[in-house]
Amino acid sequence: DQQVKQNSPSLSVQEGRISILNCDYTNSMFDYFLWYKKYPAEGPTFLISISSIKDKNEDGRFTVFLNKSAKHLSLHIVPSQPGDSAVYFCAASARVSTNAGKSTFGDGTTLTVKP
Amino acid sequence: NAGVTQTPKFQVLKTGQSMTLQCAQDMNHNSMYWYRQDPGMGLRLIYYSASEGTTDKGEVPNGYNVSRLNKREFSLRLESAAPSQTSVYFCASKPTPAVDQPQHFGDGTRLSIL
């Protein structure tokens, strides 16, 4: 039973347009969400996060939206650039004392931005 | 800035051989994690160490053991490698177990078991 799902394995957009990457979760205990970006042959790097007390967090070209009732979050990249081409992982965590900061990851979405 | 360093970067083993994957971080982080990533899948947690002196099982611990050697180093051992353990292994660390701190990842060890 996959608790974090990224239903689109891949996404292709034109440079300058908006990229929207989606993530759904099933565990209602999750209350902190992170997006990581991964280039080939490298480890994931942190991109942006959001707490469940917010519904939006923005950092430059990157915005994450959280819809708690739908258990859905999305990452918007505007404008998209060729250097944004990478695999994007959604991750979710629960703020319980026994959690030890663990995150559950989705399977990733490969974004390709075409010049 | 070295961050999280994993060695080796690549390794090929035969079924039944043993192997230790090394991970070291220079950021004075308390918490460290081992993940595996199989093709087309996300990262699955194998073991973690919330702080020096503690280790706990993650989602997929079978066939693995870990040692938190000191605050900097967290190693992953395969005692008897199996083809199903062919994967890319990532080590990660963060300052504390708090969920609102992102993890810092190494560049991975690509392990093939024949």
- Closest to B19 (Cα-Cα) out of B106, B84, B114, B111: B111
A107 touching B (Cβ < 8 Å) = yes
Q: What is the nearest CA distance from A115 to chain B, expressed in angstroms?
A: 25
- Nearest neighbour of B107 by CB, restricted to A36, A42, A100: A42
Q: How much of chain A exceeds pLDDT 70, in percent?
A: 97
- Please write down the long-range contacts of A58-65, taking CB distance under 8 Å and 24 or more positions apart: A62/A35, A64/A33, A64/A35
What average pLDDT does the structure give for chain B? Answer: 95
B78 touching A (Cβ < 8 Å) = no
Q: Which of A102, A104, A107 to mutate to test the interface with B (most CBs of B within 10 A)?
A: A102
Q: For chain A, how big is the Rg over CA atoms in Å?
A: 14
Q: What is the nearest CA distance from B50 to chain A, expressed in angstroms?
A: 6
Which structure tokens are listed for B101? Answer: 């701190």
* pLDDT reading at A1 higher than 90: no
Report CB contact under 8 Å: A107, B42: yes
- Closest to B75 (Cα-Cα) out of B84, B64, B86, B83: B64
Alpha-carbon distance of A78 to A66, in angstroms, equals 17
Q: Dump pLDDT digits (tens) for A19-39.
A: 999 999 999 999 999 999 999
Read off the pLDDT of each residue in B4-25 and give the average, rounded to a whole number. 97
The band of B2, judged by pLDDT with boundaries at 50, 70 and 90, is confident
Beta-bridged to residue A59, according to DSSP, are A62
Read off the pLDDT of each residue in B19-43 and give the average, rounded to a whole number. 95
The band of B56, judged by pLDDT with boundaries at 50, 70 and 90, is very high
3-class secondary-structure state, position A84 = helix
Read off the pLDDT of each residue in A5-17 and give the average, rounded to a whole number. 96
Read off the pLDDT of each residue in B42-49 and give the average, rounded to a whole number. 95
Report CB contact under 8 Å: A100, B50: yes
* pLDDT reading at A87 higher than 90: yes
CB < 8 Å from A in window 1-60 of B: 4, 31, 33, 35, 40-45, 48, 50, 56, 58
Q: Which of B37, B99, B100 to mutate to test the interface with A (most CBs of A within 10 A)?
A: B99
Check residue A99 and give its pLDDT.
66
Q: Are A55 and A69 in contact (CB under 8 A)?
A: no
* pLDDT reading at A100 higher than 90: no
Q: Dump pLDDT digits (tens) for A46-85.
A: 999 999 999 999 999 999 999 999 999 999 999 999 999 9
- Nearest neighbour of B56 by CB, restricted to A9, A89, A100: A100
The band of A96, judged by pLDDT with boundaries at 50, 70 and 90, is confident
